[in-house]
Structure 1
Amino acid sequence: MTDPGLGRGVLHPAAAATQFDLLRREPAADLAPYVEYHWIVRWDLRGRPPYEQQVLSHPNVHLVFEEPAAAVYGVQRGLFARRLTGAGHVLGVRFRPGAFRPLLGAPVAELADRVVPAGELFGPAADEAGRAVRHTADPAAMAAAAEGFLRGVLPAEPPRPAARQAEAVLALITDTPALVRVDQVAAVAGISVRGLQRLFAEYVGAGPKWVLRRARLHEAAARAEQGTGVDWAALAADLGYADQAHLVRDFTAVVGAPPARYARRGPLPAPGDAADR
């Protein structure tokens, strides 16, 4: 088991680390072609106010074993928020980009911004696995329950070439900051723009333009977390924005605050403070 920190996309990670623990586990080898990793969130806020965590989600589908029942989360294209109260834990399965398509039996774009009860897709076994996960505090036992379920629903054969292609293009976007337009990505990937859009709708669940934008916002948030000494104009240029104003508008539209203000904020306010939402 590894604990790599809260990871890119979790907003205000320093404040978040005082409220909950996030653990990450590699999947068993036989599941790795489909599963990127498992994540476990544990919290104990008894005697403390509820806490709302905001996340800039990644282009992945997640299967989450939580109260009251397991659920499948499609790509959340807005700002995702989760309110934690009392004490508890959840385990999530983060699928590789493109890998959920055979389980859904339909284009993954149909799951965008949706949360679907896992029982609707997989039957009672999903809820049985969810109960097993919730009834243990041991991360290894949680992962074992989740993986036992996954072995009953995942295909025996490896992901299709198109799914692997979708994952490779996503990695290309993440690893190549110089790619800032869809036509650039398509050219480097050796596919037409329209073909790239169809590939992402079928296997990713969000369009390539959104993926590019989200990758830039992840980088902007990560830089902002470093403090207030960020050269925002230079960062905007590095991320492919026409100017600083475009970066500020993009960041504010999703996060709810300009990047400089986000960088200045300390611990999150108590939930319900409407002035800071």
Structure 2
Amino acid sequence: MTKTPTPRTLRVALIQDADQGSVDANLARIEQRVGDAAAQGAQLVLLQELHNGAYFCQHESVDEFDRAEPIPGPSTERLGALAKKHGIVIVGSLFERRAAGLYHNTAVVLERDGRLVGKYRKMHIPDDPGFYEKFYFTPGDLGFEPIDTSVGRLGVLVCWDQWYPEAARLMALAGAELLLYPTAIGWDIDDSEDERSRQRQAWILSHRGHAVANGVPVLSCNRIGHEDSPLGTSGIRFWGSSHVLGPQGEYLCEANTENAEVLVCDVDLQRSEHVRRIWPFLRDRRIDAYGDLLRRYRD
């Protein structure tokens, strides 16, 4: 008889919120919300993408580069102090200034003692109406490397990465125990209700697919609220729906689509071992037949 692995429970929190209007206001709000999460016993907190301000990529303007900062820098210092205060691991998302004219969309991981223990630079960069990220962000060059922390090995990815099964797979192959996605995604409010529903459901299905295919929990933290476009178009209404999934794609918890929320739930990290025993997808991969995945397209 197969012995069920002993549970190893991790309490996680996702901070779903709207832009508060300034860096200081957003970080103050994060400090409050992380305190709330810590009071509920959270050991790991995931923040949304580019949480220090509005989603500025709705247009292309050189002035927006003034938002960027070095890593380590002021925000990592503040988040590190917050992590140390509550003895909690924090995954944040910042606009990184690496050098003059060289910028990244970068996730950072702060250990419970306040140290910056790792970062991930967003690898897949979109360029779509309302999401003009290629103007601002250089594609990441750190690869798909999990970050070891006191709460586990974290496979940190960022937003647009969520559409790529290769990214999730490579993190899982490197031993990630969780996949985490800071996210900023929403609707063009001029879209029909049917189109909005299709987009949101596709987004959720992509995360559930990553959980199932890799046998690992998935955390995705999205922002909420309407943000006007500087171009005079309708802007973006971010759809929230932050969620935590188990290794069979099952919902462990889900936030609403409209309001700020501190989403807290427990994740059994050992459950992945059990799921991978009954669904041994990594065992059955035909790595001898996947060479064409390195091609852009098979003509």
Bin for the TM-score computed over the shorter chain: under 0.3
Q: TM-score, normalised by structure 2?
A: 0.27
* Richer in helix (by share): 1
